[in-house]
Amino acid sequence: MERDPDVRKASGRMVLWLGALTIGMFGFGFALVPLYNLYCQVVGIQSADQQRALNVQARVDPLGEVQDRWVTVRFDTTVHPSLPWALESNERSLRVRPGEIHEVMFVASNRSSAKVTGQALPTVIPWQANDFFNKTECFCFVKQTLDGGERREMPLRFVVSPALPDGVTSLTLSYNFMHLDG
Amino acid sequence: MTTATHAHADHEHHGPPSGLKRWLFSTNHKDIGTMYLVFALIMLFLGGASAMVIRAELFMPGLQLVQPDLYNNLVTNHALIMIFGAVMPAAAGLANWMIPLMIGAPDMALPRMNNLSFWILPAAALMLILSFVVPFFPGGGTQINTGWTLYPPLSLQVGMSMDFLIFAIHLLGVSSVLASINIIVTIFNMRAPGLRMMQLPIFVWAWLVTAFLLILVVPVLAAGVTMLLFDRHFGTSFFIAAGGGDPVLFQHLFWFFGHPEVYILILPSLGVLASILPTFSRKPLFGHHSLVGAMIAIAALGMIVWAHHQYTVGMSLAAVKYFMIMTILISIPVGLIIFNYMMTMWRGAMTFETPMLFTVAIILMFSFGGLTGVMLAVVPADMQYHDSMFVVAHFHYVLLPGAVWGLFAGVFYWLPKWTGHMYDEKLAKTFFWLHVVSFNITFFPQHFIGLAGMPRRIVDYNVMFTEFNMISSVGAFFFGISHLLFLYIIIKTVRGGEKAKARAWESAQGLEWEVESPPPHHTWTTPPTIKTA
Ligand code: HEM
Ligand SMILES: [Cu+2]
């Protein structure tokens, strides 16, 4: 069963090649550490996380230059059925320029005779605009407690970030007031 | 070239050395094949035992038998033992036994390396078992509660048992890479004169593709766990966010190996079916060349779809879309294999001996698992199904039929060749039905509880899932018991039984049926002459 020397030689060469391939793939595993980051940067397929970080940057730095383009901001209010309140805003919609600060007043009134606590949840539509709509002051940041029959004026101050993508020409800010126990 | 360097005339009578030495120092492909198969069978029972504890614990909600960390360690061990201990060595056992017989070679190309690849395995198994045992001793640290995917940061926090496991994975990797190199060299250099590559049986092709896949991806896993080891002990931060690393990188490294691994598990078994189908359909295999092409396509595509296991980690939409489309594309070559197999049976004069029964069951149930796979490949759907029992149901439907049953089918098909005895067909059919029915009772309900929201890898569950879990556990106990019958059949066949002819199945094709059953210690010392078509 002595092997043909030609076969032995061919086998030996092949083992070397395959061994090199094995070691190469082990190295490739390590090479993936830098490649992984590089690839994402070059090809621009950022992970959702990095995309988010960019958006947050826009939020941190909302003022910048006031731009010469107009965006329509609409306001919408909903009160959850379990909360005996009414909620109105003094503006239904505003035309604003990115970078400008605006203030809108909201009026909440407690229609019951009991003391009730609620909190507003804001939503921005379309969601792509969410990170570019900056509320510098909002009644939704804290819980609101109204005595029976009380009426309260509450401010919202906001600025639309100059980084807002060009395609967005109008957005809606929608408040949903929820009942909180205690 | 090692033991058999005697005069040429003498080789036919040259038997194996006796006693322990025969096995420890064996360079004979048949003996090594047998050792691989026996090792795999032992591991099958070990992995099965851990599964029995898992199902016993999940029989009812609440904690009964094991604590959460121990439970998750059992889940980890079950997967690793079954994948690396049972399925891969069993497939390597078939390769060792059958490839030289099928290609008319006297042995594997590198017999000493063959011995080494096998004997690394028991050492690796010991390491794996130690990783489970160590936490029971004082100072042994926490159990490996990560699951087989070993994701950091959890895997960085586990105690020293993780180091044993990492070492075990290194050893297992070395063993399978050495075996793969040997198989590739054998197939390229040891074929009987005149036997062209495209004439090779599909089983040989399947193993050729598998061996290349192993060489390409196992080293990447080794690199990943090596980095894990560095992060644990040598102050690096490959995966530690606080040090500038990224835990998600490990997931990419793991699944770069992990997804091709599933094809490593099924391809040899699909290759076995290509030998069985023509025999019991009494027709030639349909589409030999396209099967070769499909297997190469599966391997190539399989290397570039790994991140479908990570849809929920927050990749960009573009990346996720790419992985979704490529993943769904793989079902085309997989479907082609299934269709070729069905066409082989079409209008054949079929009989249903046990290997064929398994083959038909595989085609039905593996396809079903492929279907749930396509569901999981769809990103918005997977956001719901990910890490639920639905995924568990999916991969058991592909892995048991696709990988394990193919090995069972191969064992029954070639057992007469190996032992020289026919197995007990009645008992084997009983085993088949017990096994296949209880498999479905065990895993089918897991689709429903998964869709209803039961997460995987959690020891306790909401009471609303109780009934289906009970059904699943009862099925699992029958499933477990069925393997004792399998063991009994094997032992009975080894010990005796109806004498098998050289061509044990009347219409079996292939060089392996030209040698006696059981084959002498050395076969094809003079290569067979190949009929050219
Ligand atoms: C058409 C074919 C297939 C498709 C489209 C497919 C797709 C998928 C997807 C998307 C997942 C990830 C699910 C999740 O974690 O959320 C998955 C998991 C899995 N698949 Fe498949 N699959 C297919 C075939 C197979 C085959 C043939 C096998 C093995 C033989 C397999 C074994 C597995 C395993 C083991 C997991 C779970 C891994 C883990 O998380 O532990 N799949 N499959
Ligand atoms: Cu996969």
Verify whether the Cβ–Cβ distance B253 to A10 is below 8 Å.
Answer: no
Query: What 8-state DSSP symbol labels residue B86?
Result: I
Residues of B in contact with A11 (CB under 8 A): 109-110, 185, 189
Q: What is the mean pLDDT of chain A?
A: 85
- Binding site membership of B218 for ligand 1 (Cβ less than 6 Å): no
| Confidence (pLDDT) at A46 | 56
CA–CA separation, B383 and B458 (whole Å): 18
For range B30-43, the mean pLDDT: 96
Helix (H, G, I), strand (E, B) or coil at B260: helix
pLDDT digits (tens, 9 = 90+) for A121-159: 998 988 778 888 888 899 999 999 999 999 999 999 999
pLDDT digits (tens, 9 = 90+) for B280-308: 999 999 999 999 999 999 999 999 999 99
CA–CA separation, B450 and B465 (whole Å): 9
Helix (H, G, I), strand (E, B) or coil at B370: helix
Least trusted range by pLDDT, from A42-46, A157-161, B367-371, B443-447: A42-46
CA angle, residues B445, B329, B272, in degrees to nearest 5 = 70
| Confidence (pLDDT) at B18 | 77
- What residue's CA is closest to ligand 1, atom 12? B309
Verify whether the Cβ–Cβ distance B238 to A33 is below 8 Å.
Answer: yes
| Confidence (pLDDT) at B6 | 40
User: How do the domains of chain A map onto residue ranges?
Assistant: 66-180
Phi then psi for residue B380, to 5 deg, are -60, -30
CA distance B131 to chain A (A): 24
Verify whether the Cβ–Cβ distance B223 to A28 is below 8 Å.
Answer: yes
| Confidence (pLDDT) at A128 | 78
B417 touches B34 (CB < 8 A): no
pLDDT digits (tens, 9 = 90+) for B95-138: 999 999 999 999 999 999 999 999 999 999 999 999 999 999 98
Which position has the higher pLDDT, A64 or B278?
B278
CA angle, residues B217, B81, B23, in degrees to nearest 5 = 90
Which position has the higher pLDDT, A165 or A13?
A13
| Confidence (pLDDT) at B2 | 39
* pLDDT band, very low/low/confident/very high, at B316 (cuts 50, 70, 90): confident
- Cβ neighbors of B49 (< 8 A, separation 6 or more) are none
Taking 90 as the threshold, does the pLDDT of residue B488 lie above it?
Answer: yes
Taking 90 as the threshold, does the pLDDT of residue B17 lie above it?
Answer: no
pLDDT digits (tens, 9 = 90+) for A84-128: 999 999 889 999 998 888 999 999 999 999 999 999 999 898 877
Determine how β-strand A170-180 pairs with β-strand A71-79: parallel
Taking 90 as the threshold, does the pLDDT of residue A60 lie above it?
Answer: no
A71-79, strands of its sheet edge to edge: A93-96, A71-79, A170-180, A116-125, A144-146
What ipTM, to 2 d.p.?
Answer: 0.89
Which position has the higher pLDDT, B527 or B162?
B162
Q: By CA distance, what is A7's nearest residue in B?
A: B189
User: Among the CATH numbers 3.40.50.300, 2.60.370.10, 1.10.1370.30, 3.20.20.140, which is that of A66-180?
Assistant: 2.60.370.10
Taking 60 as the threshold, does the pLDDT of residue B376 lie above it?
Answer: yes
| Confidence (pLDDT) at B8 | 42
For range B220-239, the mean pLDDT: 95
Query: What 8-state DSSP symbol labels residue A68?
Result: S
Taking 90 as the threshold, does the pLDDT of residue B214 lie above it?
Answer: yes
A105 touches A153 (CB < 8 A): yes
Cβ neighbour number for residue B470 with a 10 Å cutoff: 14
Q: What is the mean pLDDT of chain B?
A: 93
B106 touches B100 (CB < 8 A): yes
Return the bridge partners of A137, or none: A157
**Beta-carbon pairs below 8 A across chains A and B:** 96
* pLDDT band, very low/low/confident/very high, at B22 (cuts 50, 70, 90): confident
